[in-house]
């Protein structure tokens, strides 16, 4: 577990230092700004993307990964272009996929990155196809039955592969049940504890389960302020979250989990058992032969 993941809050603001894999350099910052199509909260996006890259070692050109709920694909394009990995993005909105594919083509990176329209509850990929499956605010997982999508992720990951995501707007650890009820979200189990137990139920071993409260707060509040500045309507969902943060409730989680090496572990265990059994049988045979002589 990395230092920032253990301490969450205090380390978030320290992420401007080299972390071994995802370095914050002016060059990569510029590169990322260039890629981001939305134009909002760029720095927050950049910080969380660098965390993800570090956590999953996406700096390797050998890595084959899937971006869950990829939106318009800026993160996938950034990873493929900057580090050389192969990335597939999936999103349920066809317009987002169209834009993402056009953008990849424009940047001449469409041999490394592909975007596919689809639902994360039925991933159109073969078993064990990816080294890493990641998601940045993968809204498909906000469904109360998210464990089924997580099982799909488990299926398409190679043994030992990583599943990593962060979600800014779900309740933090130990989120108050009364507050969930007040927000009308109790039935959707939208908090960090439920997400962790669903990841485990899908078969993963948790590597990191950390709060991202500061990042989540600034993300939600900035979103609210920008909408206000632009004179846009504030929907009740956003207003309720801003009020909730104001009342001291915490949001956001980052989870990284491993698909265990079950197959390999059991096959090596079987080999060992066969070896031991063979040895025991051999010893019995030899001792029987000697006792007859």
Ligand X SMILES: C[S@@+](CC[C@H](N)C(=O)[O-])C[C@H]1O[C@@H](n2cnc3c(N)ncnc32)[C@H](O)[C@@H]1O
Q: Nearer Cβ to ligand X, position 2 or 136? A: 136
152 binds ligand X (CB under 6 A): no
**Shortest Å, Cβ 121 to ligand X:** 6
**Shortest Å, Cβ 255 to ligand X:** 15
286 binds ligand X (CB under 6 A): no
For tokens 């981001």, the residue is 36
139 binds ligand X (CB under 6 A): yes
**Which residues, numbered 105-124, are part of the site for ligand X (CB under 6 A)?**
119-121
252 binds ligand X (CB under 6 A): no
Q: Nearer Cβ to ligand X, position 84 or 140? A: 140
* Choice from 66, 77, 96, 147 touching ligand X (CB under 6 A): 96
Q: Nearer Cβ to ligand X, position 96 or 183? A: 96
Q: Nearer Cβ to ligand X, position 232 or 288? A: 232
Select the span of 2-10, 92-100, 186-194, 195-203 touching ligand X (CB under 6 A): 92-100
**Shortest Å, Cβ 254 to ligand X:** 13
Select the span of 51-59, 70-78, 157-165, 177-185 touching ligand X (CB under 6 A): 70-78
Distance (Å, whole) CA 158 – CA 83 = 21
**Shortest Å, Cβ 53 to ligand X:** 13
Distance (Å, whole) CA 75 – CA 104 = 11
Distance (Å, whole) CA 264 – CA 260 = 9
Q: Which residues bind ligand X (CB under 6 A)?
A: 69-71, 75, 90-93, 96, 119-121, 136-140
């Amino acid at each position: 577990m990395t230092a920032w993941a253990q301490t969450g809050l205090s380390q978030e603001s320290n992420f401007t230092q080299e972390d071994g894999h995802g370095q914050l350099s002016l060059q990569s910052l510029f590169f990322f700004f260039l890629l981001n199509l939305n134009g909002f909260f760029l720095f927050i996006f950049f910080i969380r993307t660098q965390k993800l890259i570090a956590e999953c070692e996406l700096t390797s050109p050998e890595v084959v990964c899937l971006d869950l709920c990829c939106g318009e694909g800026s993160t996938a394009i950034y990873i493929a272009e900057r580090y050389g990995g192969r990335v597939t993005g999936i999103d349920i909105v066809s317009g987002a996929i169209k834009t993402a594919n056009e953008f990849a083509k424009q940047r001449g990176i469409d041999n490394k990155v592909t975007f596919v329209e689809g639902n994360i509850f039925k991933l159109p990929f073969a078993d064990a196809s990816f080294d890493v499956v990641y998601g940045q605010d993968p809204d498909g997982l906000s469904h109360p039955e998210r464990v089924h999508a997580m099982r799909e992720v488990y299926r398409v990951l190679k043994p030992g592969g990583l599943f990593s995501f962060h979600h800014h707007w779900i309740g933090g650890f130990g989120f108050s049940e009364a507050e969930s009820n007040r927000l009308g979200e109790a039935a959707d189990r939208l908090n960090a504890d439920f997400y962790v137990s669903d990841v485990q139920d899908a078969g993963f071993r948790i590597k990191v389960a950390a709060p991202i409260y500061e990042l989540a707060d600034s993300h939600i509040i900035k979103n609210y302020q920008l909408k206000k500045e632009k004179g846009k309507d504030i929907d009740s969902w956003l207003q309720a979250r801003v009020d909730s943060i104001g009342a001291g409730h915490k949001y956001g989680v980052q989870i990284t989990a491993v698909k265990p090496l079950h197959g390999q572990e059991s096959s090596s265990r079987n080999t060992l058992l066969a070896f031991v059994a063979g040895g025991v049988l051999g010893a019995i045979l030899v001792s029987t032969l000697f006792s007859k002589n």
